[in-house]
Amino acid sequence: MSANPIVHWELMGPDGDAQKAFYGGLFDWELSSAEGFDGYHLVSTGEGNIGGAVGKGSEEMPSCAIVYIQVASIDDTMAEIEAAGGSLVTPRTEIPGVVAFGLFTDPGGNVVGLVEEEAPAAG
């Protein structure tokens, strides 16, 4: 069995365009707006690097840094996380044709994301 890799990251703030200007200008990142997601900008990191995004956070978490770990099943992994002392933040959520994700907190209070290996089919 291989380890579950980190496959995505996000640096979110209350103003997605300010996040884009800050990180794009500071680190010379190439950013592109994600279609259908206001204030969410994908970061082109180059071949062999983990992709990510900067943008506008949610009302519940306006400012946060999150890494996403790839798993076979979010629901099964969430059950294991809760049994080990973690807490569910966002249940398995699908963006059809793009991704299925969920969020949890570890015992230290860090918010961490999960992404399923297989993207859900587009509707």
Share of the chain above pLDDT 90, in %: 68
The number of residues in the chain equals: 123
Q: Which CATH architecture has domain 9-60?
A: Roll (3.10)
Q: Has residue 100 got a pLDDT over 90?
A: yes
Contact 116, 73 (CB under 8 A): yes
pLDDT in tens, 5-52: 999 999 999 999 999 999 999 988 999 999 888 899 999 877 888 989
Higher pLDDT: 68 or 49? It is 68
Domain boundaries, the chain: 9-60, 72-123
Tell me the C-alpha distance between 29 and 2, whole Å: 31
Higher pLDDT: 76 or 119? It is 76
In the chain, beta strands by DSSP E: 6-13, 30-33, 40-44, 52-56, 64-71, 87-95, 99-105, 111-116
What's the whole-model pTM score? 0.87
Same fold, 9-60 and 72-123: yes
Backbone angles phi, psi at 91, to 5 degrees: -65, 175
Q: Which CATH architecture has domain 72-123?
A: Roll (3.10)
